[in-house]
Chain A
Amino acid sequence: MTTVTTGSTPTSFGVWISGLWLIVSLELRQRVRGTAWYVLLGIFVLLVALVTTLLWAATGASLVGGGGVFSLIVFFVLLLGTLVSPALSGNAINGDREAGTLATTQVTLISTGQLVLGKFVAAWITSLAFLAASVPFLIFAVSAGEVSAATIGTSIVVLAIELGVIAAIGVGLSGVVTRPLFSIVVTYLLVAALSLGTLIAFGLLGAATKATTTSTFTPVLSSDFDPETGEQSNVVCGPAETTTYETPRFDYYWWILAANPYVVVADASPGVFDEYGSPSDSFAWIAVSVRQAQTPPDLATEYNACEEASSGYSSYSGEYPGMQGPGPTQQEIYDSALPSWFVGLAIHLALAVGALFWAWRRTLTPARRLAAGSRIA
């Protein structure tokens, strides 16, 4: 009897990669190559086409440039990716276990690492296909002008990474949770927690954590008004009146928003502003809103009308009291705050790696502990 002689060099990197690729192609052939999948892709393309057309009309892209359309298409791809990817990857490992094909792969020279990574790569490629299908529409948006190469590059790369994170979470959970349906649901819940849960948590926590703001106002009780100059004399000051009210402290919780995949994509691409310092695409809008939350509220405001009146202020000079000129522009807010996207991306990458590692641990053979009620074969 001959034995497999090539089995004696299991450390060779090339052999390892070709084993990994074998699993990737097996996965793609198993899960993806089916009419249903192409129908799904077709529906996706239709939806993106519809959304692009509507956005084009709504934003007047032919006049203001394609930045708005481009960023919204990217978000739409992220949305559909998060909706489709868990269903395709969320039963990668436990589905195979149920079908009895996991153990037959594990008795071969394919290692658990190759198996888990191969399934992850296949799931990622599958969701990247959705990104690839939307490329014509992205190009279309770019063709309207005003979209910088940096925006195109970063947003697409970060979007691809985010799709990979979701694929990794799906595959990871499918190795941890025993029942396929349950792991798919848990993947959806986790994705929902990141996409919506972060918003809800941010809003509720910020609103629930109130700080007392005091505002002090010193009024003028009486004065003589000179109509010629607009100045006041014989000013009699009243007592300072202090009012207190509650302000939400969103600045404590801005980092929660950083873990939102949409925020990561938006914040990562370089902010584009028009000449008035206003955001010119939805990436910048979101980035500004998130970064604005970093600024703590002013806890003690003071307006001393009396002092102002006695210091020779003229109401004719056109300046309003208590105002330090026009507030900062949104671009100024954006530039002065911390970029949060790499915090969010780091959280996501940690989640993805952690999920895959956990799945790897749970799928290692020979198995010592089995999940209650699961059989290897």
Chain B
Amino acid sequence: MQLGIQVSGVSRAFGSVQAVADATLSVLPGSVTALIGPNGSGKTTLMLMLATLLAPDAGTITINGHDPATHPQLVRASMGWMPDVLGSWPSLTVRAALETTGRMYRLSRATATARADELISLTGLEELADRPSRVLSRGQKQRLSLARALVHSPSVLLLDEPASGLDPAARINLRELVRRLAGDGTAVLVSSHVLAELDEMADAAVYLTNGRTASPEALARAGASSRAWRIRSLDAPALASALTAIGVSPGITSVDKLGTLVQVTGEAAAVELLGRLIRADVPVCDFGPAVGNLEHTFLDLNRGTDVMEQGS
């Protein structure tokens, strides 16, 4: 039995809208995979298919070895899903909502109660435990939603934009929680638009564009394309003249108060540029990629489609 998530060639249309087309990905137990794509690229639709709620038109999905379309019950027993919409039973308290969810997963009453307490402290909802969930703020509801996805200690976790609405401390907690769950062997698929955050928590990334997962070749191309590096120097004019002297290609993109942005193709070229700046005695105090890896790939992939769309 193949544990974790396997998706191959999955597509799904809503009428004339092809929400997901030929998506392929796999998430192994103990790893965190980021699902990245622009608005409307089909992330939520893909998650719904994984969560046994939506049947794919084509392709195969297995979750811990079971097909969600034919054996939804087996998949549900070991899969936790945190939806992107906030839905909670308004008149139930946080604790009652978690207990009820536990009972829906056929936990015994005592286990459900104990688990609810555990999750309340895990997600920092102690003070709100006995308030009806109607009164929760957006971020608090988001925490409740996360807690609910974890009620039955699933070995596959689907998180659809879990960080939206969370404060910085809660985001750090979320990141640590996700890493800890992965450390315990959970397969985690997480979508988010905050790529810097995914950079820190994901082992791998899957890019969706118009419902298609980016091919390995496209990813390699995007990784190799030139990207902006930010250089900050204690002596800005010296940096400027050194850069002109070196004659960086493709060249200086812009200068802002955080430093100078320079387009560099590949990390080797960046190392060489830094060496030459140091040798030219420029006092460099900051030298690094201006955007994270995920963001760079994301922007490059979607720039690609824009060009294609304009060309056709």
Contact = CB atoms under 8 A, between A and B. Distances in A.
B175 to A, nearest CB: 19
A109 B100 CA distance: 12
Contact of A1 (B14, B106, B148, B155): B155
A330 B74 CA distance: 64
Q: Taking chain B's interface residues, is the majority helix, strand, or loop, or is none over half, making it mixed?
A: loop
A1 to B, nearest CB: 4
B105 A103 contact: no
B182 to A, nearest CB: 10
A58 interface: no
B212 interface: no
A104 B186 CA distance: 20
Nearest to A22: B103
B67 to A, nearest CB: 10
Given A29-B92, A104-B87, A1 B53 contact: no
B197 interface: no
Interface in B183-215: 184-186
Interface stretch (A43-51, A219-227, A347-355, A364-372): A364-372
Interface in A333-377: 365-368, 370, 372, 376-377
B48 interface: yes
B229 interface: no
A34 B106 CA distance: 28
A368 B68 CA distance: 13
A107 B77 contact: no
Interface string A14-27: 01000100100010
A367 B54 contact: yes
Contacts of A15: 106
A109 B51 contact: no
A377 B44 contact: yes
A376 B104 CA distance: 19
B86 interface: yes
Interface string B68-99: 11001110111101011111111110001000
A116 to B, nearest CB: 15
B48 A377 contact: yes
B144 to A, nearest CB: 11
Contacts of B154: 1, 3
B55 A1 contact: no
Contacts of A314: none
A318 interface: no
Given A7-B106, A19-B106, A109-B105, A376 B48 contact: yes
B53 A376 contact: yes
Nearest to B73: A10
A317 interface: no
A18 to B, nearest CB: 8
Interface residues of A, number: 37
B119 to A, nearest CB: 14
Contacts of B15: 372
Contacts of B92: 26, 29-30
B7 interface: no
Interface string A90-117: 0000000001111111111111000000
A29 B93 CA distance: 11
Given A7-B105, A106-B53, A365-B53, A99 B90 contact: yes
Contacts of B87: 99-104, 377
Which of B49, B54, B181 is packed against the most chain A CB atoms within 10 Å? B54
Contacts of B148: 104
A35 B52 CA distance: 37
Given A2-B153, A4-B152, A7-B73, A104 B106 contact: no
B166 interface: no
19 contacts: A2-B153, A10-B73, A19-B104, A22-B100, A22-B104, A29-B96, A34-B91, A100-B83, A101-B87, A101-B88, A101-B89, A103-B53, A104-B101, A104-B148, A108-B104, A109-B106, A365-B53, A366-B69, A370-B54
Interface of A: 1-4, 6-8, 10, 15, 19, 22, 26, 29-30, 33-34, 99-111, 365-368, 370, 372, 376-377
A-B complex: 5 closest residue pairs judged by Cβ atoms = A100-B87, A7-B77, A108-B104, A366-B55, A100-B85
Interface of B: 14-15, 44, 48-49, 51-55, 68-69, 72-74, 76-79, 81, 83-92, 96, 100-101, 103-107, 145, 148, 152-155, 181, 184-186
Given A8-B77, A104-B81, A109-B73, 7 more contacts: A1-B185, A3-B154, A26-B92, A103-B53, A104-B88, A107-B53, A110-B104
